């Protein structure tokens, strides 16, 4: 049995301790935000926050989340509405397929929590480990800068 | 896939969820029932009038549009959302022609049991085929409704006005679409007689309406097939052979059966798979089975470095005269210039690996949620693979990670179906590992292009000769199980059919092989090789990327040889006005004439009209080349785009910009590596793609053509970008690179050669 907080609510799951956190989130706990992209810590689509730090859920055993607080894309919503950062991604239409968006938003949230007024370069380097195949990069950077500006 | 614009919040986005997707359309309040047979069987008969776009082959109005009693309208389309924004664009058009708020629209796309069959969503055909059909069907439905209103209000049609579905006559008499449609009014064929609105009368069309699918994607509402988790599902894992042609000699199935959580191990010939309760259990058992299996492995692939030579030395199945216009008279050329270009195999390389869910119901129908681009033809191929009647397989499109062509979506659908029939009643989910997706997807074919031009004393082209050497670019399911990966490994295997170089000239391997420039003599030969060292199929642009790279590099070489400015030299041979506009606008926006040369910097241009029939696009790039380490930095990019009548300007910008960035990735970094037995590019480390730090600012200049046909845009910018890059590197270094990708190693070697 592993217990942790998921998007501010306590959860308990009876799963093998070495199961990847990503599979537990998506298969056992109904999370849609975090996504499988590579399973090798190479693409960032599975990124979630663990105690506020961005973590690759595909390469993290669920046991590592025990007693900690996990935040996924759905957990950023505020009273059911998109957060400022999420709204900025919507306003900038920062996607084509949007499959990478969850990892991008989580990674960007971690940046903004640390550095509320990042430069464009700060954003690019913070997101450099997150892959986008559709070429939405510049829109994504604009969305993060917009959220910072509107803060 | 199902999208619903939320009532009263037209631009706030869709309400949707996996529950709805799984209800198989049962949530609709249908004004009419449409028998399945109608959707499948509608074909054009010669005596009937020709209709616009896909209406021609799906002629019933209620196949496209239904007016629902709950004051909504359902739009049904056969084209599907791939992240290109098609559903938002057709919703804009439908709402405009019907005079309703977009918020009233529900969209169902790509369901073999419900929607019109519009074939494959590919080739930049969605706007030219689907949009006119929606436009005309909507206009005609509006006319029918006005006619009904005229009778019920006892007023002439000309005296009526419509606002958001409410029809008002003189003196304030009112009725609504939802009041009027009670009978069979739309159960009839379109006539093509209605007149769509003028561009100036549109409320949504022509505006950058925010995409309907984006809010869900930004907030974690389930919308992708990869996110669906129906109750009680099992996870499947297919154990692929070590190499393409390996045969499974022997395997001890109990190795898998003993593993935790395993429900079933399936072996059918060389097809080996496992079903388990948990995803990580399925993966672990699959990998244990792989380790336990003995395979007979064949050698014989040409290898990464042997590929250019292989293409030009292998006997083609056909040599196709794509174009042959000999020059009429005139002097002999004073000089002949020749060059050879190479593009390697590229991956689609979707960020999310392919996935599908299949369930065999009590009625024996296998229902598959898939991100396939071709639900109808894939359903047919799967039914043949399973030896089931066609109507026993239903495919429902659900969005997936961007695919950029025929990736493994259809294979995942087939694999899920193969396993679902083993466990009736249980949903079976497949999602490939990264290694499986990288190593087994059908790549964009490697190509060699040999060019030759005879020029006059001023360096003007007299005779243009263009020879393409390529393996196929199309092995989509197309109703044939031999095109589904796993079907070839079954105990009774399905043979892959020999691929064709499909379509009219300039269409497949030869796509964009015919330069749009007007040369006095012009010949294009396509050496079409049907042998496939690596698995290949449609990858964004098909042959266009390699062909435009060659055309636009070669014309640049000729311009430099003639001592001419590359833009001016192109315009000399370009008569097409819209093409000229596109080149000129891109050059202007880039500041081509004001640009001053600095050491290590260069500028380049590339142009094409995609397929010579779709969107026009010119790209200008500025680069900086580090001559010590061979690194290319792209400093900025400017593109022009003429996509005809613009439906959603930001959607076009997004496609052009995304295509440009993807093409920079192909051109700078990408090449599928393989040895004599197997593919070696198995993850993002061995097949790197462009990252944030490497993406330049991109500026897109739109050219609107109100009233002109809608032209497809999604594949317009890749070819021009590849050539613009090579041309800019030449400008920066004085060295011409003709073999892609332009990796630092290759550039460094070229600069010191
Ligand atoms: S799925 Fe975790 S980094 Fe790619
Ligand atoms: S928007 Fe498709 S991968 Fe980023």
Q: How many domains does chain A have?
A: 2
Do A22 and A71 lie in one domain? The reply is yes
Predicted pLDDT of residue B183: 54
Tens digits of residue pLDDT in B86-121: 999 999 999 999 999 999 999 999 999 999 999 998
Residues 46-65 (A) with a CB less than 8 A from some CB of B: none
Predicted pLDDT of residue B41: 42
Does residue B506 register a pLDDT over 60? yes
Residue B351 CB–ligand 2 contact under 6 Å: yes
Least distant ligand from the CA of A132? 2
Q: Give the span between the Cα atoms of B663 and B656, in whole angstroms.
A: 10
Edge to edge, the sheet with strand A9-13 lists: A9-13, A2-6, A69-71, A47-50, A53-56
Q: Confidence band (pLDDT; 50, 70, 90) for B157?
A: very high
Q: Confidence band (pLDDT; 50, 70, 90) for B46?
A: low
Predicted pLDDT of residue B417: 98
Identify the H or E element spanning B319.
strand B318-325
Does residue B12 register a pLDDT over 80? no
Please name the member of B400, B431, B659 whose beta carbon is closest to the beta carbon of A135. Answer: B659
Percent of chain B with pLDDT over 70: 93
Domains B225-297+348-438 and B447-473+508-752 share a fold: yes
Predicted pLDDT of residue B328: 94
Residue A58 CB–ligand 1 contact under 6 Å: yes
Question: What is the CATH number that goes with domain B2-218?
Answer: 3.30.365.10
What backbone torsions phi and psi does residue A82 show, to the nearest 5 degrees?
A: -60, 140
- Long-range contacts of residues B240-244, Cβ cutoff 8 Å, at least 24 apart: B240/B436, B240/B439, B240/B440, B241/B270, B241/B295, B241/B489, B242/B295, B242/B297, B242/B677, B242/B678, B243/B295, B243/B297, B243/B298, B243/B677, B243/B678, B244/B534, B244/B535, B244/B678
Does residue B30 register a pLDDT over 50? no
What backbone torsions phi and psi does residue B156 show, to the nearest 5 degrees?
A: -70, 150
DSSP-assigned beta bridge partners for residue B320:
B526
Do A47 and A98 lie in one domain? The reply is no
A132 lies in which domain range? Answer: 84-149
Number of the ligand 2 atom closest to the C-alpha atom of A96: 1
Number of the ligand 1 atom closest to the C-alpha atom of A59: 2
Do A7 and A68 lie in one domain? The reply is yes
Do A58 and A8 lie in one domain? The reply is yes
| Separation in Å, CA B526 to CA B316, B324, B523, B553, B596 | 9, 11, 10, 19, 40
Cβ atoms within 10 Å of B387's Cβ, excluding its own: 10
Q: Which of A134, A139, A141, A144, when mutated, tests ligand 2's pocket best, judged by the most ligand atoms within 8 Å of its CB?
A: A134
| Separation in Å, CA B281 to CA A29, B277, B313, B722 | 17, 7, 47, 43
Mean pLDDT score, B152-170: 95
- To the nearest whole angstrom, how far is the Cα of A67 from the nearest Cα of chain B? 22
Least distant ligand from the CA of B213? 2
User: If you average pLDDT over each of B17-21, B67-71, B541-545, which comes out highest?
Assistant: B541-545
Do A58 and A95 lie in one domain? The reply is no
Supply the DSSP symbol for B627. Answer: T
Supply the DSSP symbol for B696. Answer: P
Instruction: Decide if B386 contacts B368 (C-beta within 8 A).
Output: no
Percent of chain A with pLDDT over 70: 100
The CATH number linked to A17 is 3.10.20.30
- Per residue of chain A (151 residues), what is the pLDDT tens digit? 999 999 999 999 999 999 999 999 999 999 999 999 999 999 999 999 999 999 999 999 999 999 999 999 999 999 999 999 999 999 999 999 999 999 999 999 999 999 999 999 999 999 999 999 999 999 999 999 999 999 8
- A107 at the B interface (CB within 8 A)? no
Residue A147 CB–ligand 2 contact under 6 Å: no
Task: Mark yes or no for CB contact A135/B224 under 8 Å.
Answer: no
Q: Give the span between the Cα atoms of B328 and A13, in whole angstroms.
A: 80
Tens digits of residue pLDDT in A130-145: 999 999 999 999 999 9
Supply the DSSP symbol for B482. Answer: G
The dihedral through the CA atoms of B449, B450, B454, B458 has a sign that is positive
Q: How big is the CA angle at A105 (ends B227 and A15), to the nearest 5 degrees?
A: 45
Domain boundaries, chain B: 2-218, 225-297+348-438, 447-473+508-752
Residue finishing a domain among A21, A50, A75 = A75
| Separation in Å, CA B410 to CA B230, B391, B475, B537 | 20, 18, 11, 12
Does residue B52 register a pLDDT over 60? yes
Do A69 and A112 lie in one domain? The reply is no
Q: Confidence band (pLDDT; 50, 70, 90) for B186?
A: confident
Q: Which of A24, A25, A56, when mutated, tests ligand 1's pocket best, judged by the most ligand atoms within 8 Å of its CB?
A: A56
Do A89 and A63 lie in one domain? The reply is no
Does residue B594 register a pLDDT over 70? yes
Tens digits of residue pLDDT in B650-702: 999 999 999 999 999 999 999 999 999 999 999 999 999 999 999 999 999 99
List chain B residues with CB under 8 Å of A32: 220-224, 227
Mean pLDDT of chain B, nearest integer: 92
Mean pLDDT score, B608-632: 97
Instruction: Decide if B612 contacts B727 (C-beta within 8 A).
Output: no
Q: Give the span between the Cα atoms of B726 and B737, in whole angstroms.
A: 6
Instruction: Decide if B437 contacts B408 (C-beta within 8 A).
Output: yes
Task: Mark yes or no for CB contact B229/A30 under 8 Å.
Answer: yes
Do A21 and A44 lie in one domain? The reply is yes
Predicted pLDDT of residue B202: 94
Do A20 and A66 lie in one domain? The reply is yes
Residue finishing a domain among A32, A52, A75 = A75
- A115 at the B interface (CB within 8 A)? no
Does residue B35 register a pLDDT over 80? no
DSSP-assigned beta bridge partners for residue A54:
A49
Q: Give the span between the Cα atoms of B76 and B436, in whole angstroms.
A: 34
Predicted pLDDT of residue B388: 98
Do A14 and A45 lie in one domain? The reply is yes
Q: Confidence band (pLDDT; 50, 70, 90) for B122?
A: confident
Do A71 and A99 lie in one domain? The reply is no
Domain B447-473+508-752: which CATH class? alpha beta
What backbone torsions phi and psi does residue B524 show, to the nearest 5 degrees?
A: -130, 120
Tens digits of residue pLDDT in B374-409: 999 999 999 999 999 999 999 999 999 999 999 999
Tens digits of residue pLDDT in B285-328: 999 999 999 999 989 999 999 999 999 999 999 999 999 999 99
Name the fold adopted by B225-297+348-438: Aldehyde Oxidoreductase; domain 4 (3.30.365)
Instruction: Decide if B706 contacts B645 (C-beta within 8 A).
Output: yes
Task: Mark yes or no for CB contact A98/B83 under 8 Å.
Answer: yes
Least distant ligand from the CA of B683? 1
Residue finishing a domain among A75, A108, A140 = A75
List chain B residues with CB under 8 Å of A135: 657-662, 665, 695
- To the nearest whole angstrom, how far is the Cα of B246 from the nearest Cα of chain A? 25
């Amino acid at each position: 049995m592993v217990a942790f907080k998921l998007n501010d609510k306590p959860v308990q799951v009876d799963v093998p301790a070495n199961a990847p956190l990503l599979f537990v989130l998506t298969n056992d706990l109904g999370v849609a935000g975090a996504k499988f992209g590579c399973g090798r810590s190479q693409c960032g689509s599975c990124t979630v926050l663990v105690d506020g730090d961005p973590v690759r859920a595909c390469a993290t055993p669920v046991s590592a989340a025990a007693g900690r607080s996990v935040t996924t894309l759905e957990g950023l919503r505020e009273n059911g509405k998109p957060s400022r950062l999420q709204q900025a991604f919507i306003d900038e239409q920062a996607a084509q397929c949007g499959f990478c968006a969850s990892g991008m938003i989580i990674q960007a949230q971690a940046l903004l929590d640390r550095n509320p007024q990042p430069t464009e370069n700060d954003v690019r380097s913070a997101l450099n480990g997150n892959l986008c195949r559709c070429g939405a990069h510049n829109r994504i950077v604009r969305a993060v800068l917009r959220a910072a500006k509107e803060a | 896939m199902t999208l619903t614009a939320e009532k009263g919040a037209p631009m706030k986005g869709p309400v949707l969820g996996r529950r709805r997707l799984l209800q198989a359309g049962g949530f609709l309040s249908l004004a009419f029932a449409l028998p399945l047979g109608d959707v499948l069987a509608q074909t054009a008969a010669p005596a009937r009038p020709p209709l616009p776009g896909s209406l021609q082959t799906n002629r019933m109005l209620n196949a496209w549009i239904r007016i629902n009693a709950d004051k909504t309208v359902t739009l049904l389309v056969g084209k599907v959302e791939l992240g290109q924004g098609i559903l938002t664009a057709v919703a804009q058009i439908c709402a405009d022609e019907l005079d309703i708020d977009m918020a009233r629209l529900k969209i169902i796309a790509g369901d073999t049991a419900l929607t019109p069959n519009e074939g494959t969503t590919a080739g930049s055909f969605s706007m030219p085929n689907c949009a006119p059909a929606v436009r005309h069907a909507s206009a005609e439905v509006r006319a029918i409704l006005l006619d009904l209103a005229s009778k019920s209000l006892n007023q002439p049609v000309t005296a009526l006005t419509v606002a958001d579905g409410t029809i008002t006559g003189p003196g304030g008499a009112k009725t609504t679409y939802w009041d009027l449609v009670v009978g069979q009014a739309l159960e009839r064929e379109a006539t093509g007689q209605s007149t769509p609105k003028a561009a100036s009368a549109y409320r949504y069309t022509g505006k950058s309406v925010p995409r309907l699918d984006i809010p869900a994607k930004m907030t974690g509402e389930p919308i992708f097939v990869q996110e669906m988790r129906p109750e009680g599902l099992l996870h499947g894992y297919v154990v692929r052979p070590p190499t393409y042609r390996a045969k499974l000699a022997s395997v001890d199935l109990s190795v898998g059966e003993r593993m935790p959580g395993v429900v079933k191990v399936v072996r059918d010939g060389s097809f080996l798979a496992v079903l388990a309760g948990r995803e990580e259990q399925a993966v672990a058992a699959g990998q244990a089975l792989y380790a336990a299996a003995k395979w007979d492995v064949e050698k014989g692939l040409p290898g990464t470095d042997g590929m250019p030579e292989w293409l030009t030395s292998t006997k083609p199945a056909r040599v196709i005269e794509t174009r042959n216009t000999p020059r009429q008279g005139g002097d002999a050329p004073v000089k002949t210039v020749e060059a050879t270009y190479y593009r390697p195999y590229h991956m689609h390389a979707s960020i999310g690996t392919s996935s599908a869910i299949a369930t065999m119901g009590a009625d024996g129908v296998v229902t598959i949620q898939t991100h396939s681009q071709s639900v109808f033809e894939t359903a047919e191929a799967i039914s043949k693979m399973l030896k089931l009647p066609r109507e026993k397989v239903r495919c429902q499109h659900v969005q997936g990670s961007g695919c950029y062509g025929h990736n493994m979506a259809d294979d995942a659908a087939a694999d899920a179906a193969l396993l679902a029939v083993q466990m009736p009643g249980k949903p079976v989910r497949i999602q490939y590992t990264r290694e499986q997706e990288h190593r087994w997807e059908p790549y964009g074919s490697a190509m060699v292009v040999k060019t030759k031009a005879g020029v006059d004393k001023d360096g003007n082209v007299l005779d243009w000769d263009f020879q393409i050497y390529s393996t196929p670019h199309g092995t989509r399911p197309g109703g044939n199980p031999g095109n589904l990966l796993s079907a070839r490994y079954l105990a009774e295997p399905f043979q892959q059919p020999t691929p064709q170089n499909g379509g009219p000239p300039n269409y497949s391997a030869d796509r964009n092989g015919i330069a749009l420039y007007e040369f006095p003599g012009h010949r294009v030969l396509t050496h079409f090789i049907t042998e496939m060292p690596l698995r290949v199929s449609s990858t964004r642009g098909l042959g266009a990327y390699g062909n435009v790279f060659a055309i636009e590099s070669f014309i640049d070489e000729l311009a430099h040889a003639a001592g001419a400015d590359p833009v001016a030299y192109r315009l000399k041979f370009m008569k097409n006005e819209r093409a000229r506009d596109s080149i000129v606008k891109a050059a202007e926006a880039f500041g081509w004439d004001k640009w001053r040369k600095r050491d290590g910097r260069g500028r380049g241009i590339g142009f094409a009209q995609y397929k010579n029939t779709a969107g026009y696009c010119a790209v200008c790039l500025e680069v900086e080349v580090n001559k010590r380490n061979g690194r290319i930095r792209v400093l900025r990019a400017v593109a022009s785009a003429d996509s005809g009548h613009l439906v959603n300007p930001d959607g076009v910008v997004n496609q052009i910009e995304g295509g440009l960035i993807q093409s920079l990735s192909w051109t700078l970094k990408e090449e599928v590596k393989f040895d004599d037995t197997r593919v070696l590019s198995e993850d993002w480390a061995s097949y790197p793609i462009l990252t944030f730090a490497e993406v330049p600012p991109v500026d897109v200049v739109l050219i609107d053509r109100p009233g002109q046909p809608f032209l497809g845009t999604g594949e317009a910018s890749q070819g021009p970008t590849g050539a613009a890059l090579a041309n800019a590197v030449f400008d920066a270094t004085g060295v011409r690179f003709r073999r892609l990708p332009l990796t630092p190693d290759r550039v460094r070697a070229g600069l010191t050669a």
